[in-house]
Structure 1
Amino acid sequence: MDLLETRQLRYFEAVAEEQHFGRAAERLGMAQPPLSRAIRDLERQLGVQLLVRTSRRVALTPAGRILLGEARIALDAVATAGNRTRHAGRDVPALRLALKADHDAGLLPKLLDAFDVLPVELLLGGYGEQVPALHDGRADVALVTTPFDERGLDSEPLVTGPRLVALAASDPLAARTSLRLPDLAGRLLPWGSPAEQGLPKPPFEHHEPLDHSQIFSLIEVGSTVWFLPVWLADRFARPGIAYRPVGGLEPATLTVAWPARSRSAAVAAFVRTVQQIARDTAPYDNRFPLSHRALAD
């Protein structure tokens, strides 16, 4: 049997995920007929049916489900090989740090000053993009907030602090000094808000993740509430928003993570440096969750 090509796997992955040839073709930037032919050729090459086609959608056969899982692994491996090779061939080496802006618990400025093994290149991304960047070789190390998918990664905790709820200052609940989760039943959370909340994402009218300014604007007018780490509340003190502790809500831990297979001396030095800065700074402490300035408004 001829070897599969990455092009074939990309085509199949798009069709399997979109469950529609037209949408998959649009996603791939190609016409639908050649995409349909490519999938039929792939089925003939493998000698199995991968998709069940109807007039409205396509569904995976058992063989198709197997190929989708294997295709994702293979495509990730190819992307990782390319990213790591390009990085290794750079004239000026650097340590690539993935993080979400404002989610460093105040450690980043001191960290950049203290770490002198290699230049640090910041890879700023949206919520949930840091772990994939570690897996596919775009980043060497990341700052992420628990919980996150730790498979294939090593990690060390840095800073732990309470999660708060952000709600409109005019909300009747803002008159309380503390809340419990049942008090917030039925309140909308913004779609695309941090996956590290560990909370289910309810329906929301927006179809793309929201940035901080959009989320806080919605909170101020009472359209939504948001659970967030105390260090993020620190960055966004706004008169129209009240931050309150919530009983029963798990605390947040900022963590440094890196690929478990990494043998980089620079990564090891970075981890030691950021751990020392976190110990020296100790900006948030669960022993005093109610004394923090983010709660006093």
Structure 2
Amino acid sequence: METRELRYFVAVAEELHFGRAARRLGMAQPPLSRAIQRLERRLGVPLLHRGTRAVSLTEAGAVLLREARVALDAVEAAERRTRRAASPSHGLVLATKAGAAGDLLAKLLDAYAAEPGAVAVEVLLCGPGEQERLLRDGHADVALLQRPFDTTAGLDTEDLHTEPQILVLPAGHPWSGRPHVTMAEVTGRPDLPLPRWPGPGGRYPDGPGPRVRDHTQLFQLIALGRACALVPESLRPQLREAHTTVPVPDAPPVTTVIAWPPHSRSRAVAALVRTATRL
């Protein structure tokens, strides 16, 4: 399979519409349809269920979508890392979610800068979930991720810090005086739903909660009484008087990890990881 064919298929599989996919790719619809048909014939399996108005993925198509994303990310990452390695000012690019693990990040940067042979570290502050994508597609050399929010499959990682989650509520909420709440109570409140974060392709999952893109937007919605949220305890300093928090003992703990591509042979990445684990 060619990367061009994979890009065509991913566009159709994500849009679930040949016309929209063709516009996204900047091409006409008929050659796009023929390219997908050729791919199906070569593989010997149908990838799409074609309807009069839209299409849907077959089981084989869903598998190819997952694999194609990985393959295309790997190709693009190889291109970016190759160009960056040839740059005279080549340093390290570290991606991390804005506002997350702030104290740990500051200590890590200071400690690494004091190491012999340390290189410059560019910090990419991004929205929730973006740091994983930046690492996988080659925009970053290393990233701070948080399980269970981020997926670390296929990456090399070292655990750095584990902390509990707390429930953020609008100030004055009836639960504000309680010593704790349970996950069953949190997920069973349609009047104060949990937010929905964008997933792969920028698509939001179905559900009653508001769509959010960053913590600034989320915390304002909570202050307005439109949502509640489970967040790591380390985000508590970012809250305002308009918020209150309650412990959720049975919520899954959040583990901050440092992650890097498994094929990396960068001495700078290795030194940064050693510094992080030592901290």
Q: TM-score range by the shorter chain?
A: 0.7 to 0.9
For 1:70 and 1:84, locate their aligned partners in 2 and report how far apart those are by CA, in whole Å. Answer: 21
Query: For 1:190-211, what per-residue CA distance to the aligned partner results, in whole angstroms no more than 9, with x for missing partners?
Result: 111899xxxx9743353xx422
- Given that 1:189 and 1:202 are in contact with CA atoms closer than 8 Å, whether structure 2 keeps it comes out as no
Tell me whether 1:225 sits opposite 2:228 in the alignment.
yes
**Aligned twin of 1:120:** 121
SS of 1:165's equivalent in the other structure is: strand
Deviation (angstroms), 1:51 = 3.4
Query: For 1:1-60, what per-residue CA distance to the aligned partner results, in whole angstroms no more than 9, with x for missing partners?
Result: xxx432222112111222211221233244434433433454566676543422112234
Tell me whether 1:146 sits opposite 2:143 in the alignment.
no
- How many residues align structurally? 267
Which of 214, 218, 225 is the aligned partner of 1:211?
214
- Given that 1:190 and 1:210 are in contact with CA atoms closer than 8 Å, whether structure 2 keeps it comes out as no
- Given that 2:210 and 2:227 are in contact with CA atoms closer than 8 Å, whether structure 1 keeps it comes out as no
Letter of the structure 2 residue corresponding to residue 272 of structure 1: R
Alignment of 1:40-59 (within 5 A): 40-43=37-40, 49-59=46-56
Provide TM-score, normalisation by structure 2. Answer: 0.84
Structure 1 230/57 Cα, relative in aligned 2: closer, same or farther at 3 Å? same
Structure 1 100/85 Cα, relative in aligned 2: closer, same or farther at 3 Å? same
Question: 35-44 or 75-84, which moves further after superposition?
Answer: 35-44
Alignment of 1:102-113 (within 5 A): 102-113=99-110
Which of 85, 89, 114 is the aligned partner of 1:88?
85
For 1:243 and 1:27, locate their aligned partners in 2 and report how far apart those are by CA, in whole Å. Answer: 43
Unaligned stretches of 5+ in structure 2? none
Percent same amino acid among aligned pairs? 49
For 2:239 and 2:70, locate their aligned partners in 1 and report how far apart those are by CA, in whole Å. Answer: 42
For 2:252 and 2:69, locate their aligned partners in 1 and report how far apart those are by CA, in whole Å. Answer: 33
Deviation (angstroms), 1:189 = 0.8
Deviation (angstroms), 1:78 = 1.4
For 1:62 and 1:251, locate their aligned partners in 2 and report how far apart those are by CA, in whole Å. Answer: 33
Provide TM-score, normalisation by structure 1. Answer: 0.79
For 1:194 and 1:159, locate their aligned partners in 2 and report how far apart those are by CA, in whole Å. Answer: 25
Structure 1 60/91 Cα, relative in aligned 2: closer, same or farther at 3 Å? same
For 1:157 and 1:50, locate their aligned partners in 2 and report how far apart those are by CA, in whole Å. Answer: 39
Structure 1 248/42 Cα, relative in aligned 2: closer, same or farther at 3 Å? closer
Query: For 1:113-171, what per-residue CA distance to the aligned partner results, in whole angstroms no more than 9, with x for missing partners?
Result: 22231100112222122223322222221111122323222222222222110001121
